[in-house]
Amino acid sequence: MTRRSSKPYEYEVDADPFVVCGIDAEWTYESAGRNLILSYQFAVINANSGKMSKLIILPKNGARIELEHGLSRALLKARKRKVIDKVPNKFVIAGHFTRADLTTFENFGWFKRRIGAVRKTFATTMMPLRLRLAASEGPVKCSCLIVDTVLLAPAGTSLETIGKLLGMLKIELPPGYTKDRMDLFLRDHPKLFKKYAVTDAVIAAKWVTKTYGLLLERLGIGKKVITLGGAAVELVRRQAKSKGIDLNKFLGQEKPKQSYAHLAPLIAIAAQAYHGGYNIAAALGFSPAGKELKDLDIRSAYSTALSLIRVPDWAGARHCIALKQLAVVEEAMTAGLVEFRFPDGTRFPCLPVRASNKRGLVYPLEGSSWCTGPELAVAIGMGAIIDVKDGYRVEWIAGSIRLFEDITRLVGEIRAEAKALDPPDLVLDKTVKEIGNSVYGKIAQSVAGMRVIKDDVERRSVFNTMFGESDQLGPSGITNAFMATYCTGLVRALLLEAISRLPQGTWVGTATTDGFLSSCGLEGIDQSGPVAMAFAAARERITPGDRTIWETKHLIPRALVTKTRGTFTVAPADWNGASVVLAKAGYMTPEAALALSEIEQCRVWIELYRKRQFATKMQSKSLTSLRTQHLFEVDLQSVVRDVRWNADFDLKRKLARVRDVDGLITAETVPWRSIDEFEQARDLLEDWKRSQRRVLKTKQDYEDMLAWGAAKGNRSKTGTRAHNKLAPIAAAVLKVLAHRNSGISEWFKLESYAQKAQLMSAICGVKITEMDVKNAKRRGTGPAELAGSIATLTDDDRRFLMSWFGFYSIAPEVCDIAEMLCARGSAATEELDELFDDAANAARDAVADESLNLCIPQNDDEILEQTTLGH
């Protein structure tokens, strides 16, 4: 297993076998930040001989041991069991989520700065951990590589799944015992506890042994990488070498991580045009009944997009503002800054514009966009008018190879072989698949951080364990802004090209990076567009004879779309589909529903969505952060927090044909005219939710939000707030009256604050105190600034004006005051005449009935009485 580049020197010590020591610990909660350690487990595997020894240490009263002590004892036992001949000078320490286990050792504080942090766990990133272990021959200085199986397995794979892939079943806890009370399990079933506990260490050790073995045997990667992403980088390096390509020249750099100087301005454009995937909810609420929905996915989207890349001609890379030169799919890598306008009625514009406040990408009908060549090609196909401001074009070297195509093909071949084995080699299949998918991630690593015009996209940071602070994640060994931009743009373009060409009347629910949910099946996808043609050709090169781009992932009867990445399957009770769409928009399924099937979980989610309020909270389970563990040397504990459930539509597209279906808001969407329109709508939604403490659940909610938004300008000009008891125009009138020293007619003497308060109380139907009048005079703008402050009227404003105009016959000045307050030519001014007529008619009717007795009320009871009559 251990590789040497040359034969050993004369009298050199014998090479160590490849030894992996799996570690694990079991504990129970003791106090905040401190766990009671129940056991330490070790599994030593000699990969050369395949022998293994296990050790479990049960500390007395939770007394912690040092890492060296545990390892010394594990290796001592391994020697006595003839697993190893001597304590190796180099070996691997493997664990599943090492952050949980390494912190349980007594001397964590001593070695915490000598291990690195990767993706929220600990692993060796630079120097190996140097330990002095005990052996009967004397102390042995060892170099230990710390490896976490979380990093060496596909993202999100649990230890249980890893065990299954290895053919090892994780021992289930007997009924009545839980992971957070392992002390009870140890007390009641000590033998079973030991068996249960040591299995985790064995799985970790075996996975690392097997993965490194496969990497060496199947991909020729001898380096002990700590992540599968690292293996992807090594794979690219190796493939480039085997094809006779200088990787630095291929990536356009003088030396690793230093690009050619003349590319610097072009990298700036590439980084600006680098965006994530196309993620959008194109509808809200229930999908049409009776239309079966298909969730279609692009096959190996990013791997295939990468495979279009040939060897770039970096010497010929140049600025370019000719649209024809930029709007290409596979001729060259291009990107640029453009101003665009799509024809009215375009359903799915395809040029991205980044919104503020982490609101993601929005696709308006017009605006300014940093975009890529394939997106421009699709935009031209949609009839967009495009004005290029700046851009670049990087040609391919004529006749050059496609490096990533070879890698994708190699990955595909290995996977096919692994699956064909009897039994299938699932470890190989999953590992190689993850490596293949990681190539794109490594190419795009930290490209967002290269942007000259900084935006609000969060840079990924890593915790520097040596200095105890956060650093920005740097580029990988194969980071390339041009290639990353090209790939993401190509996948977005392919997705949008397909969606925009769907047959008329197709319901589109959501689109997420490389797939979309719609009522259209594979047969309805138009693949005659320029991007689809290029992609299909790439697919055929990878899998000869097969040009298929799209595949059906899910088939469901109906869906409820709540927001981007928030979709639930709606199905009758007797439906027994193969798989369901269950996208929870980042929230955890409630614990009570975890045991249910996916379709049952969907029903739970829909019911929760139906019942939700502004204050509805979801549980969020998180763990003690790596930073906290490192800085304060505390143990890993789970922290349960309640977070407000934001399930409201994100308004990335404008709602149209809003209606209620089954009691929930349902609508189609159209693109926004501009990014500003989107930002305003989104600001309105957020302000409305926060101030009114409401959610967008029904059509009424939506209309209320729009009305609230319409009155927002009035409120700001009149200095009122949404929760104030007076409507904006009423507040403005009160201010006018407060500043007046003379009455508005001989009937209304407004000499004292009390009189003014009484008048307003009578009109508004709410109690206005003397203090309110004083405050109206004292605070905010004066009457001069209030002129023209009301642009639109709300229902409250209309109600007030009806009452206010009712005084016209005895105080004609009320009309002048109302006209003065409404902005000239505004919708509010236009409504005044109509309201005046309505008020006059109402007054006539009232007089006819002899039921209205207008007089200034003298006490609270009279105010209420008059209010009732007035309305």
Residues that bind another protein in the complex, under the rule CB under 8 A: 9-14, 55, 65-66, 68-69, 71-73, 76-77, 80-81, 89, 131-139, 141
CB of 89 to another protein, least distance (A): 8
Residue type, 175: P
Phi, psi of 449 (to 5 degrees): -75, -10
d(CA 539, CA 307): 9
CB of 155 to another protein, least distance (A): 35
CA 75-194-79 angle, to 5 degrees, is 15
Q: Considering beta carbons, is residue 202 or 487 the nearer one to another protein? A: 202
Cβ atoms 435, 219 nearer than 8 A: yes
CB of 189 to another protein, least distance (A): 18
CB of 459 to another protein, least distance (A): 36
Q: Considering beta carbons, is residue 139 or 383 the nearer one to another protein? A: 139
Q: Considering beta carbons, is residue 134 or 852 the nearer one to another protein? A: 134
Sign of CA dihedral 778, 782, 783, 786: negative
Q: Considering beta carbons, is residue 55 or 333 the nearer one to another protein? A: 55
Q: Considering beta carbons, is residue 16 or 434 the nearer one to another protein? A: 16
CB of 135 to another protein, least distance (A): 7
CB of 136 to another protein, least distance (A): 5
Q: Considering beta carbons, is residue 57 or 321 the nearer one to another protein? A: 57
- Could you give the 3-state DSSP secondary structure of residue 180? helix
Contacts of the segment 678-685: beta carbons below 8 A, 24+ positions apart: 678/355, 678/359, 678/362, 678/364, 678/651, 678/652, 678/654, 679/355, 679/356, 679/359, 681/651, 681/654, 682/355, 682/359, 682/650, 682/651, 684/708, 684/709, 684/712, 685/648, 685/651
Quick one: 214 exposed, middle or buried, by C-beta within 10 A (0-12, 13-18, 19+)?
Answer: buried
Q: Considering beta carbons, is residue 14 or 422 the nearer one to another protein? A: 14
d(CA 27, CA 5): 44
CB of 257 to another protein, least distance (A): 25
Contacts of the segment 653-662: beta carbons below 8 A, 24+ positions apart: 653/280, 653/281, 653/282, 653/363, 654/678, 654/681, 655/284, 655/702, 658/699, 658/702, 658/703, 659/699, 660/698, 660/699, 661/285, 661/286, 662/286
CB of 122 to another protein, least distance (A): 20
Q: Considering beta carbons, is residue 73 or 291 the nearer one to another protein? A: 73
Nearest to 511 by CA among 275, 276, 668, 278: 278
Q: Considering beta carbons, is residue 6 or 859 the nearer one to another protein? A: 6
- Could you give the 3-state DSSP secondary structure of residue 476? coil
CB of 84 to another protein, least distance (A): 14
b vs e for 744-767, b when ≥16 Cβ sit within 10 Å of the residue's Cβ?
bbeebebeebebbbbbbbbbbbee
Nearest to 274 by CA among 566, 509, 475, 119: 475
Adjacent-strand bridge partners of 20? 45, 92
Q: Considering beta carbons, is residue 71 or 118 the nearer one to another protein? A: 71
Q: Is the peptide bond before 423 cis (omega within 30 degrees of 0)?
A: yes
Q: Considering beta carbons, is residue 11 or 632 the nearer one to another protein? A: 11
CB of 40 to another protein, least distance (A): 13
CB of 72 to another protein, least distance (A): 4
Adjacent-strand bridge partners of 787? none
